[in-house]
Amino acid sequence: MIGALIIVFREVIEAGIIVGIVMAVTQGVRGSRLMAGAGVAAGVVGASLVAAFAGALASALNGVGQELFNASILSLAVCMLAWHNIWMASHGRQLAAEARQLGQEVRSGARSLFALAIVVAVAVMREGSEIALFLYGLVAAGGTTAGDLLLGSALGLAAGVAVSAVTYFGLATIPPHRLFAVTTGLITFLAAGLAAQAANFLQQAGVATAMSDTAWDTSAILSDTSLFGRVLHTLIGYSDQPSVLQVVVYAVTLAAIFTLTKVFAPRTIARPPQTPLTQNG
């Protein structure tokens, strides 16, 4: 039971933090709960499919199917996060400045909901497929009663969902006028971390062979398999033994999203409202 609990919890944390952030980002947007739910559901379906076809996936594309699949879906998530940030910078802030009285839905921009649903689905699919494989292994191996296994998994899932809730409610305490800046920063770091993971899969597949040396080894100080290390791994992409390429990809992604967000942001952010009637906030 403990085995199932620990593994399920460990995998759910990573997806849970991402879901928590996405829900905080889209807080108050009409349809955002539906979006998060659909993302999780699509992720669970995807995870089951990935687990069921794990063998076929591993042997696909001359044996690097699994790596290229992981690199692809991670890159997709990075693009969606980047697009969300850029869209928000170019529309959201301006809309918020002009139409504060319309309420919270404007602040978050419903149009990028779909992009964030994809991010949720990717996160759930990646972690969920490992849980499915692990549980299948436990069942196939026998020795554990099904009830015990189920109980451990349920507890692990509950603990993971609790981390997700802490993330969400933690972010929800941030005052609305600061939330935009905070979530923009969080999403930029999240995307950079996912890009570095994608780079690792490309190196593992032998597609990218340059800069494969280990940049640093801080596993003695903070292992990325510890609870805190895992949280940092998800939030900012912390890795205790990254390759040089991972560090470069991380830095480039961070700089690119930061720059694009700045470039696409409207120059006249603090334009005063046209009518004096809205000057009450």
Partner 1 sequence: MTRTQLSVLALTIALAAGAAAPALADDAAPVQITLKDHKFDPAEPMVPAGRPIVIQLANQDATPAEFESKELRVEKVVAGGGSITVKVRALKPGRYRFFDDYHEATTQGFLVAQ
Residue number, 62 or 173, with CB nearest to partner 1: 62
Residue number, 181 or 210, with CB nearest to partner 1: 210
- Least distance between partner 1 and beta carbon 154 (Å): 19
Q: Which tokens in the block code for residue 155?
A: 């507890």
Residue number, 34 or 210, with CB nearest to partner 1: 210
- Least distance between partner 1 and beta carbon 227 (Å): 15
- Least distance between partner 1 and beta carbon 104 (Å): 29
d(CA 104, CA 95): 11
- Beta-carbon contacts of 185 under 8 Å, excluding residues fewer than 6 positions away, are none
What residues make contact with partner 1 under the rule CB under 8 A? Answer: 7, 54-55, 58-59, 62-64, 66-67, 129-130, 133-134, 136-138, 140-141, 199-200, 202-214, 219, 225, 240-241, 243, 245, 248-249, 252, 256, 259-260, 263-264
Q: How many C-alpha atoms does 47 have within 13 Å on its Cβ side?
A: 26
d(CA 30, CA 33): 8
Give the DSSP letter string of 161-187: HHHHHHHHHHHHTS-HHHHHHHHHHHH
Q: Which tokens in the block code for residue 86?
A: 């850029």
Residue number, 67 or 117, with CB nearest to partner 1: 67
- Least distance between partner 1 and beta carbon 266 (Å): 12
- Least distance between partner 1 and beta carbon 213 (Å): 8
* Contact of 5 with 154, CB cutoff 8 Å: no
Residue number, 26 or 66, with CB nearest to partner 1: 66
- Least distance between partner 1 and beta carbon 134 (Å): 5
- Beta-carbon contacts of 233 under 8 Å, excluding residues fewer than 6 positions away, are 14, 193, 224, 239
Residue number, 102 or 139, with CB nearest to partner 1: 139
Q: Is the dihedral of CA 60, 64, 69, 70 positive or negative?
A: positive
**Bridge partners of residue 243, in order along the sequence:** 214
Cα 183 to the chain's mean position, in Å? 12
d(CA 5, CA 242): 28
The type of residue at 93 is R
Residue number, 142 or 147, with CB nearest to partner 1: 142
- Least distance between partner 1 and beta carbon 148 (Å): 17
